[in-house]
Amino acid sequence: MEKQTALLLIDIQIGFLDVEYWGGNRNNLNAERNSAKILEVWRRNDWPIYHVKHNSTTPDSPLSPSKKGNYF
């Protein structure tokens, strides 16, 4: 079987930008910017990309499927 590299993006959702909801501090302020750069390279080369997201069961969470924060 041939080995192939893929990009796996986990929990890169709009809802994580709600710093107040998550308690104030983030440990990687450039996460979205850096991920976007990597994603651009992968798309340009037509390499496999997998997005995984968190669907919260808490109705008021920004990551609830009914909220815009759940979007990639």
Confidence bin at 24 (pLDDT 50/70/90): confident
Q: Residue 61 sits in which domain range?
A: 7-70
Q: What is the pLDDT of residues 30-47, one digit of tens each?
A: 888 999 999 999 999 999
Q: How many CA atoms lie within 13 A of 68 on its CB side?
A: 2
Q: pTM, whole model, 2 decimals?
A: 0.75
Element (H, E) at 8: strand 7-10
Mean pLDDT of all residues belonging to the chain: 91
Residues 13-39 have a mean pLDDT of: 89
Domain count, the chain: 1
The answer to whether residue 24 sits within a structural domain is yes
The answer to whether residue 30 sits within a structural domain is yes
The answer to whether residue 64 sits within a structural domain is yes
Q: Over 90: is that where the pLDDT of 51 sits?
A: yes
Confidence bin at 1 (pLDDT 50/70/90): low
The answer to whether residue 1 sits within a structural domain is no
